[in-house]
Amino acid sequence: MALHDRKGGREMVTPDSTYSGLKVLGLGDNVVDRYLHTGKMYPGGNALNFSAYAKMLGADAAFLGTFGTDAAGRHVRSTLEELAIPTPLCRVVEGENGHADVRVVDGNRQFVFSNRGGVARENPFTPSRSDLDYIAGFRLVHTSCYSHLNPHLPALRNASALISYDFSYRWQVDDLIGPVTPHLDFAALSASDVGRERGLAALREAVSNGCGLALATFGPEGATAYNGEDFVSVLPKPANVVDTLGAGDAFITAMLLSLLAAGWTRGNRPSADAIAIAMEKGSQFAAEICGIDGAFGHAAPIAANEQI
């Protein structure tokens, strides 16, 4: 995979034919990241980014979640349509789509406000029987701590072939690892601000609870995965950094697709070699995504009445 040209001002990624036909689903959160210093908003959110990145890499990706009826929600929906990412069972609810406001100060990105998911938080997604039947058709379902789905994880696990979950940094402040990881096949933890020792301890806890594979990202120190037997690490790849937003989601997506292509299934622990290859692909794709504005481009202007 490589960024190879530009279309409409957006860098394009060469799909990997290895991932062709892999059916994966991003389930849950979607937002727009509103860049206050430029007046532009970009689609994002852990689950939505997973779907977009998986599509970019050549997988058969879909998205299932809740959209608002404002300009942000309309922009996310139109972007998914442009990317040919199916959304057949998504909900549309009157009100604000999720958004997060970002400023850049002295070259550093700062999140200054979030409506915590907007209508997706106010109207929590409750999987129906038809949703669960739909989910059963995918090789992997990816969700996150921002998707308000924790009460439904047992049902989602029963319906899915594999389920992955991004804890972001919330595992550090909320009691999440104990109640959540028994229902997961893959857990991703952001650990750049807690140190390697605590991050590795969290990986051991997640796997001991029944999660098949766990990953901790340590920012510039790279990432480490644990499968219950082996710790496997990778360092970041050099990047021409335009915007680091989405880099962690890009890493996770490429890693998961590589493991799926290698034959990973529930109860079949990935080998250290397969994990190492997958993490190298994750690190490379994350570096490439750092060359794109926003999580994956597709900017739209922030409406004048939404400027802060």
Q: Is the dihedral of CA 206, 188, 32, 85 positive or negative?
A: negative
For the residues 208-231, what does the mean pLDDT come to?
97
Q: What's the rounded Cα separation, in Å, for the pair 55 and 171? A: 28
Count of all residues that appear for the chain in the document: 308
For the residues 116-145, what does the mean pLDDT come to?
96
For 62-104, the pLDDT digits (tens) are 999 999 999 999 999 999 999 999 999 999 999 999 999 998 7
Position 12 scores a pLDDT of 58
Smallest CA-to-CA distance from 89 within 51, 49, 125 is with 125
Is the CATH code 3.40.1190.20 the one for domain 18-303? yes
141 neighbors 24 (Cβ within 8 angstroms): yes
Bridge partners for 82 per DSSP: none
For 3-47, the pLDDT digits (tens) are 433 443 344 577 888 999 999 999 999 999 999 989 999 999 999
Alpha helix stretches (DSSP H) within 7-159 = 46-56, 71-82, 119-122, 129-135, 153-159
The ranges assigned to domains in the chain are 18-303
* The amino acid at 247: A
28 neighbors 279 (Cβ within 8 angstroms): no
Place of tokens 């997961």: 184
Position 111 scores a pLDDT of 85
For the entire predicted model, the pTM comes to: 0.94
Cα 44–chain centre separation: 9
* The amino acid at 190: S
Q: What's the rounded Cα separation, in Å, for the pair 242 and 297? A: 11
Round the CA-based radius of gyration of the chain to a whole number and report it: 18
Q: Is the dihedral of CA 205, 274, 150, 196 positive or negative?
A: positive
Q: What's the rounded Cα separation, in Å, for the pair 30 and 37? A: 22
Bridge partners for 110 per DSSP: 103
257 neighbors 22 (Cβ within 8 angstroms): yes
Smallest CA-to-CA distance from 291 within 121, 56, 72 is with 56
193 neighbors 171 (Cβ within 8 angstroms): no
For 155-197, the pLDDT digits (tens) are 999 999 999 999 999 999 898 999 999 999 999 999 998 989 9
Bridge partners for 31 per DSSP: 44, 98
* The amino acid at 296: F
